[in-house]
């Protein structure tokens, strides 16, 4: 580490990382045994290489080191050092300081990372990953990079396009392809910069799902939100959230291809009942359940197209028998694993049906791209061999191949104008200090920025009726942890492998229930930070658990219906983004019916695990604060045949506007009992086709 000015933060940090007390404490948090201790195993390099991100802990580590110095900590025998750290851990203030050190030890010892988060640098591979036998890619596998598309410079934009599509995720990608193939000129505006797959993977500290620091999948600074929480006494409390906090901000990825660039790929169809929730279940007090204006039968041909045009691997059988299908899957299911075998057998003993999950991942070579290599870092990371299917490598390339599409990245639409003679958008590019504003006219603007950002953009543009932004909801999630006698998750991807739909629209769980699947393998950093019940938080026993018992950790995951409530909504906040436009204000209320769904998922997930021989099954509640934006948010521009009950018509046309069409999850009146992406694609195909066939004069 270079020298620093006396009294500066650099000098204070240098003094810390060269202190005997800090180094000794690191080696008690991760003691040496047959494998190196923490300092030599990666923590020393992590704290000394100039990366600014760990510096958040500077005050805490200074207080801790001061206390340890007073104790003569570095000269104590190892057992007395451990006793001193246990005493520190029990202290009200110093305990939190020790927590900061422990967190940095796990980041340095168990996390693959790139220098200062720079995608251009090779990932660091600390000793902890080698100790665990963790491998990111199978031996002999070489990464295959995504063919990055040609983009248009801001100063080369046309004044007019037939359509401007805001967002490049599954809805925007489908719309761009459909309109471009019909001969229309299309501008796709994507907020994220253009990054290769290598810039969106290989880093356990910055992956979108597991980020502990700013993720390259954004959105980054300059995009604040206000989240509203209701206390037990009924008071509302607002919290300012910036784009650096992935969990609090929301897990939607900002990248070319949107969430499908980094998802795990579960590609389920909704059930017929999902399109008629209000009719099937009624509407409990305070809820805003509504039927879709379209049903399963109308969407079925589009589901089939979505599976074939996106590329889904799956099998017809226990998980498909309850929904009519006009065609099978284009690819066989992903290969099996011990978890699938164990839970399929357990389901049979319970009288349930289980099977391989449908995944939008190449199980065999397809579309000129290879099959999945089952890397250990799938969800939240880009695919190392481009086998994971999404808008970025299916719909968008087909749209661009027509020659009718301009793709503008690292730019934002800030305002949408609509009128009987045409529409237009205000586009901002560049940094806020040297930003360039451009007005682009269009026959139609297609808004596909996700349930939160689509609503925010349209509200900030002064468009929409009273339902725009309302009915925000997601899914309910339940995570169950346990131990098994034989390792069932071998660390290979893509993650979830087996599921049962026996508690979807069944008598076992109210309000439509949900799907149960195996819990995916988690990254070593996640295990270290949140080990099993009764595992010490640090020390030799923690290291031994990581090395010897971690493979025996197992679990199940439940995802079910979230009942939209009258008070959950996206509105405009009194904070502004880097362009001076209002940010989103998110209020999310949990309806009691949603908690009934959670309880049912937990009950039957526990039964499933116990039937598989699991011990110590318990519901796990993570420490991270869930975001009101969630991961599967929807409903904020819900479709309806009547403007009195929805924000758009059945074809996504914004009520009160003649040339603005919404084409993403915002349209979903309800979110089903399973992952929504295949439904987003299928419905986008239907919406985009209607737009193509009824082009405004």
Tokens of 201: 């993977």
**Pairing between strand 660-662 and 405-408?**
unpaired
Provide the pLDDT confidence category of residue 624 given band limits of 50, 70 and 90.
very low
Burial class (CB in 10 A: 0-12, 13-18, 19+), 10: middle
Closest CA to 210 of 379, 382, 384, 388: 379
* CA–CA dist 476, 695 (Å, integer): 39
* CA–CA dist 513, 476 (Å, integer): 10
Q: What is the DSSP string of 247-272?
A: HHH-S---STTGGGGT---B-PPPPG
What pLDDT digit, counting tens, does each position of 144-195 carry?
A: 988 999 999 999 999 999 999 999 999 999 999 999 999 999 999 999 999 9
Q: In what order do the strands lie in the sheet with 236-243?
A: 236-243, 220-230, 582-587, 569-576
Question: In the 8-state DSSP scheme, what is residue 53?
Answer: G
**3-state secondary structure string across 389-418:** CCHHHCHHHHHHHCCCEEEECCEEEEEEEE
What pLDDT digit, counting tens, does each position of 630-651 carry?
A: 889 999 999 999 999 999 999 9
Provide the pLDDT confidence category of residue 65 given band limits of 50, 70 and 90.
very high
Sign of the dihedral defined by the CA atoms of residues 518, 521, 527, 530, in that order: negative
* CA–CA dist 538, 31 (Å, integer): 9
Question: In the 8-state DSSP scheme, what is residue 548?
Answer: I
Bridge partners, 441 (sequence order): 160, 424
Helix (H) or strand (E) holding 608: helix 592-611
* pLDDT greater than 60 at residue 623: no
Contact call for residues 81 and 68 (beta carbons, < 8 A): no
* pLDDT greater than 70 at residue 432: no
Q: Which of 142-146, 535-539, 676-680, 686-690 has the lowest mean pLDDT?
A: 142-146
* CA–CA dist 194, 212 (Å, integer): 22
Domains and CATH numbers, the chain: 9-131 (no CATH), 312-376+474-620 (3.30.410)
* CA–CA dist 666, 687 (Å, integer): 13
- Mean pLDDT in residue range 619-626: 69
pLDDT of residue 229: 85
Provide the pLDDT confidence category of residue 244 given band limits of 50, 70 and 90.
confident
Contact call for residues 175 and 688 (beta carbons, < 8 A): yes
The overall average pLDDT reported for the chain is: 94
Q: What share of the chain is helix, strand, coil (3-state, %, to 5)?
A: 35, 20, 45
Closest CA to 563 of 295, 283, 232: 283
pLDDT of residue 117: 54
* pLDDT greater than 60 at residue 505: yes
Q: Which of 526-540, 624-638, 658-672 has the lowest mean pLDDT?
A: 624-638
Closest CA to 175 of 652, 677, 676: 652
What pLDDT digit, counting tens, does each position of 91-114 carry?
A: 999 999 999 999 999 999 999 998
pLDDT of residue 246: 77
pLDDT of residue 3: 61
Between 51 and 357, name the one with better pLDDT.
357
What pLDDT digit, counting tens, does each position of 510-535 carry?
A: 999 999 999 998 999 999 999 988 99
* CA–CA dist 622, 529 (Å, integer): 11
CB neighbourhood size of 275 (10 A): 23
Using CA atoms in the order 532, 536, 537, 539, what is the torsion angle rounded to 10 degrees? -130
């Amino acid at each position: 580490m270079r020298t620093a000015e006396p009294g500066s933060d650099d000098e204070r940090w240098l003094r810390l990382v060269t202190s005997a007390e800090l180094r000794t404490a690191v080696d008690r948090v991760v003691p040496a045994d047959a494998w190196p201790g923490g300092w030599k195993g990666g923590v020393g390099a992590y704290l000394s290489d100039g990366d600014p991100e760990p510096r958040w802990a500077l005050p805490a580590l200074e207080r801790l080191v001061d206390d340890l110095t007073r104790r003569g900590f570095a000269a104590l025998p190892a057992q007395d050092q451990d006793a001193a750290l246990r005493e520190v851990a029990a202290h009200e203030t110093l305990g939190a300081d020790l927590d900061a050190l422990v967190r940095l030890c796990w980041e340095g010892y168990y996390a693959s990372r790139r220098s200062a988060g720079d995608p251009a640098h090779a990932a660091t591979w600390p000793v902890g990953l080698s100790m665990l036998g963790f491998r990111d890619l199978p031996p002999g596998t070489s990464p295959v990079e995504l063919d990055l598309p040609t983009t248009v410079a801001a100063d080369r934009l046309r004044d007019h396009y037939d359509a401007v599509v805001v967002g490049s995720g599954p809805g925007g990608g489908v719309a761009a392809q459909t309109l471009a193939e019909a001969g229309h000129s299309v501008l796709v505006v994507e907020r994220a910069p253009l990054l290769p797959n290598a810039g969106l993977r290989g880093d356990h500290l910055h992956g979108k799902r597991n980020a502990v620091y700013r993720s390259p999948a954004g959105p980054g600074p300059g995009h604040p939100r206000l989240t509203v929480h209701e206390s037990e006494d009924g008071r509302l409390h607002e919290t300012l959230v910036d784009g650096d906090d992935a969990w609090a901000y929301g897990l939607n990825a900002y990248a070319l291809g949107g969430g499908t660039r980094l998802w795990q790929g579960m590609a389920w169809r909704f059930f017929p009942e999902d399109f008629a929730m209000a009719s099937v279940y009624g509407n409990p007090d305070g809820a805003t359940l509504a039927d879709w204006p379209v049903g399963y039968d109308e969407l079925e041909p589009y589901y089939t197209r979505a599976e074939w045009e996106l590329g889904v691997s799956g099998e017809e059988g226990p998980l498909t028998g309850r929904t009519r299908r006009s065609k099978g899957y284009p690819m066989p299911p992903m290969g099996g694993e011990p978890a699938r075998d164990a839970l399929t057998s357990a389901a049979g003993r319970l009288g349930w049906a289980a099977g391989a999950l449908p995944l939008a991942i190449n199980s065999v070579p397809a579309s000129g791209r290879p099959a999945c290599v089952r890397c250990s870092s799938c969800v939240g990371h880009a695919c190392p061999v481009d086998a994971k299917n999404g808008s970025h490598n299916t719909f968008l390339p087909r749209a661009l191949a027509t020659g009718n599409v301009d793709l503008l990245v690292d730019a934002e639409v800030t305002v949408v104008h609509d009128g009987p003679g045409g529409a237009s958008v205000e586009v901002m590019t560049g940094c806020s200090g040297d930003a360039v504003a451009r007005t682009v006219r269009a026959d139609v603007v297609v808004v596909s920025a996700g349930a939160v950002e689509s609503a925010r953009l349209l509200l900030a543009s002064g468009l929409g009726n009273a339902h725009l932004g309302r009915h925000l909801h997601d899914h309910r999630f339940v995570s169950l942890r346990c131990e098994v006698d034989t390792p069932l998750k071998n660390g290979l991807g893509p993650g979830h492998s087996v599921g049962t739909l026996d508690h979807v629209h069944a008598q076992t769980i109210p309000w439509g229930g949900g799907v149960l699947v195996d819990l995916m393998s988690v990254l070593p950093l996640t295990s270290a930070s949140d080990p099993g019940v009764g595992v010490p938080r640090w020390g030799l026993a923690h290291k031994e658990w990581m090395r010897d018992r971690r493979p025996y950790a197992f679990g199940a995951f439940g995802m079910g219906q979230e009942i939209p409530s009258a008070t959950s909504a996206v509105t405009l906040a009194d904070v502004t983004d880097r362009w001076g436009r209002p940010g989103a204000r998110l209020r999310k209320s949990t309806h009691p019916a949603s908690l009934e769904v959670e309880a049912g998922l937990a009950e039957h997930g526990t039964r499933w695990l116990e039937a598989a021989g699991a011990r110590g099954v318990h519901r796990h509640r993570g420490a991270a604060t869930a975001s009101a934006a969630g991961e599967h948010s929807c409903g904020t521009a819900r479709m309806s045949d009547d403007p009195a009950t929805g924000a758009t018509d059945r074809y996504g046309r914004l009520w009160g506007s003649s040339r603005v069409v919404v084409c993403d999850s915002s349209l979903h009146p309800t979110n089903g009992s399973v992952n929504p992406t295949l439904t987003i694609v299928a419905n986008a195909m239907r919406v985009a086709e209607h737009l193509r066939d009824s082009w405004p004069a």
